[in-house]
């Protein structure tokens, strides 16, 4: 079975550890997805264009939610680009202890899903 290529949107300043954990999960033998790209740290003039190109290459976008995601400008821009590119996305609760905040660009109807292996597999398969 081919793995679904995904882009990870995350708060680079606060949640890089979450991205690394998700990359690790993508390397499991039974993983239904592969990470093809992720948020951009460098603040260049064309970072939005670079983000759009990366998101276009993905079939889905995973938005990692942490304690400061609501104020993460890059995450909010990436969500808007994701919707403009008509890519499916979902919000994943990064911190098991709670305090995960929905990005301001997320829709009211967007739910933050628990980060459990079986749940993640279902979300990648389109179960929302």
pLDDT tens-digit profile of 33-90?
A: 999 877 776 667 788 898 999 999 999 999 999 999 999 999 999 999 999 999 999 9
Stated pTM of the model: 0.92
| Cβ partners under 8 Å of residue 119, min gap 6 | 113
pLDDT tens-digit profile of 95-119?
A: 988 899 999 999 999 999 999 999 9
Domain segments of the chain as ranges? 4-124
Q: What pLDDT was estimated at residue 1?
A: 66
Q: What pLDDT was estimated at residue 38?
A: 75
Percentage of the chain modeled with pLDDT above 90: 76
User: How many CA atoms lie within 13 Å of 39's alpha carbon, on the beta-carbon side?
Assistant: 26
Report d(CA 67, CA 105) in Å as an integer. 15
Which CATH number among 3.20.20.80, 3.40.50.2300, 3.40.50.720, 3.40.50.450 corresponds to the domain 4-124?
Answer: 3.40.50.450
């Amino acid at each position: 079975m081919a793995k679904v290529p995904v882009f990870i949107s995350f708060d680079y300043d606060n949640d890089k550890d979450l991205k690394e954990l998700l990359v690790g999960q993508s390397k499991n033998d039974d993983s239904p997805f592969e990470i093809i790209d992720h948020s951009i740290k460098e603040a260049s003039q064309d970072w939005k264009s670079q983000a759009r190109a990366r998101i276009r290459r993905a079939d889905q976008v995973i938005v990692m939610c942490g304690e400061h995601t609501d104020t993460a400008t890059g995450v909010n821009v990436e969500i808007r680009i994701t919707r403009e590119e008509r890519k499916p996305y979902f919000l994943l609760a990064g911190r098991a202890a709670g305090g995960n905040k929905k990005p301001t660009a997320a829709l009211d109807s967007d739910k933050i899903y628990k980060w459990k292996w079986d749940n993640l597999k279902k979300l990648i398969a389109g179960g929302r």
